[in-house]
Amino acid sequence: MNKFIAAILLLLSFGAAAAEYSKVQADSSTITFVSKQMSVPVEGAFKKFTAQVRINPAKPEAGVAHMVIDLASIDAGSMEANDEVKGKSWFNVAEFPRAEFVSSAVKALGAGKYEAAGKMTIKGKTMEVRAPFTLKEDKGVLAIDGAFVLKRLDFGIGSGLWSDTSVVADEVQIKFHLLLK
Amino acid sequence: MKQVLAYTRTAIALHWLIALLVFVTFPVGVIMSDMALSPDKLKLLSYHKWLGVTVFILLVVRLVWRVAHRPAPLDVAMPHWQMLAAKAVHVLLYVLLFAIPLSGWLMSSAKGFQTVYLGVLPLPDLLARDKVLGDALSALHQVLNITMLLLVIAHIAAALKHHFVDRDGTLVRMLPFLGRRTSK
């Protein structure tokens, strides 16, 4: 009898393992953002990042994510802007080369929507963030799409003259599109 | 001298309003291009674009007005080549006042920065982001501006020459108060 239960548990765990996605497709996954400069939405992206994600669409609440973004890989819209945002008053990549997100909990919001909560560390400051996302399975590929608003001044991104939010808005929309196998 | 307006008051107002805006927009463009990236530069870039869009709108109004209200022909004796030159400069100035804001708008789109008029009204991006095209349009925008600068210098020099050397009524057509004063 114990053997029988063990066998069922083993089968169940196999079933669960089969539906779990953990291989992030780096080439097709993107982290982009939209900042507002003088009310003009300007798109940007981080070209290099690593994401370790494990998630089972049948049980997303158990999912975990750990992302590390190489801040020097930023494309802020122009060469001039790329140089500027790596500097001291923005990301200060010489001292803080990476941004990090570690998830702490995932909850269902209903209607196929979920929310990941976790800690975001940028420029030596750690803040709680919440990122709503959706899941879509298609032919063995799981797409995780989400967006959230990050307040750049919470992390001291764009200090001094640049802290004028009438020029560059405090709110920056971060969008992530992760494809997992 | 009897006061018969060659241009309507509306046409005169539009001429001087556009002239004033061009005299602000041009130097702002030159100054901001040489600035290192800063909040002030982003402000000037936006003001420059808003001014440019305003010039474009006023020019369209002005052209429509001109078609509906033809100015009286210039009744001043001058060599034929001068007549032709004047006509050519006027036509080219209209073309440039149209083409310069348009090239600026397109270059902005190609560089990936939308134009949001007065920070409120987003203009559609007519071109997708394309660095090579953006740089080409930027070069075009510059060439058109330098051309306009030279034409404006010629335009002003000719107007002053007519007024102070030839002492004919050419400038008075666009500045009627000058005529009123001399006629008294």
B93-116 pLDDT, tens digit each: 999 999 999 999 999 999 999 999
Estimate the share of chain A in helix, then strand, then coil, as percent rounded to the nearest 5: 20, 50, 25
User: What's this model's pTM, rounded to 2 decimal places?
Assistant: 0.85
**If you average pLDDT over residues B140-153, what whole number do you get?**
98
A81–B37 CB contact, under 8 Å: yes
When computed from its CA atoms, the radius of gyration of chain A, rounded to whole angstroms, is 19
- Tokens at residue B114, please? 């939308």
Strands (E), B12-132: 116-117, 121-122
Alpha-carbon B44 to chain mean position: 19
Mean pLDDT along residues A82-101: 96
Q: In this predicted structure, what is the pLDDT of residue B183?
A: 46
What are the domain boundaries of chain A? 21-180
pLDDT higher than 70, residue A63: yes
Query: What does the pLDDT average to over A31-54?
Result: 95
The predicted pLDDT at position B178 comes to 85
Q: Which residue carries 């800690």 as its tokens?
A: A119
Q: What would the two tokens of residue B67 be?
A: 């078609």
Side chain identity at residue B83, one-letter code: M
B142 touching A, CB under 8 A? no
Mean pLDDT, residues A27-44 taken together:
95
Q: Which of B32, B41, B49, B116 to substitute to test the interface with A, most A CBs within 10 Å?
A: B116
**pLDDT at res. B60:** 97
Enumerate the residues of chain B whose CB falls inside 8 A of the CB of residue A161: 38-39
- Stated as kind and residue range, the H or E segment containing A17 is helix A2-19
Q: How crowded is residue B140: how many other Cβ atoms within 10 Å of its Cβ?
A: 16
Tell me how far CA of residue A49 lies from CA of A14, A83, A109, B24, B50, in angstroms. 30, 19, 27, 45, 38
**pLDDT tens digit sequence for A137-155:** 988 999 999 999 999 999 9
Question: Per residue in B28-68, pLDDT tens?
Answer: 999 999 999 999 999 999 999 999 999 999 999 999 999 99
The chain-wide mean pLDDT, for chain B, equals 93
Total residues found in chain A within this entry: 181
DSSP one-letter string for B54-85: HHHHHHHHHHHHHHHSPPPPP-----HHHHHH
**Interchain CB distance below 8 Å, B119 and A43:** no
Average pLDDT for B125-130? 90
> What domains are there in chain B, each with its CATH number?
9-183 (1.20.950)
A148 phi/psi in degrees, rounded to 5: -150, 165
Q: Can you tell me the distance from the alpha carbon of B4 to that of B2, in angstroms, rounded to the nearest whole number?
A: 6
Q: Do B42 and A164 touch (CB under 8 A)?
A: no
Residues A167, B43: C-beta atoms closer than 8 Å: yes
Interface check for A84 against chain B (CB to CB < 8 A): the answer is yes
Q: What is the pLDDT of residue A111?
A: 86
CATH topology of domain A21-180: Lipocalin (2.40.128)
- Give mean pLDDT, residues A166-180: 96
pLDDT at A107 exceeding the cut of 50: yes
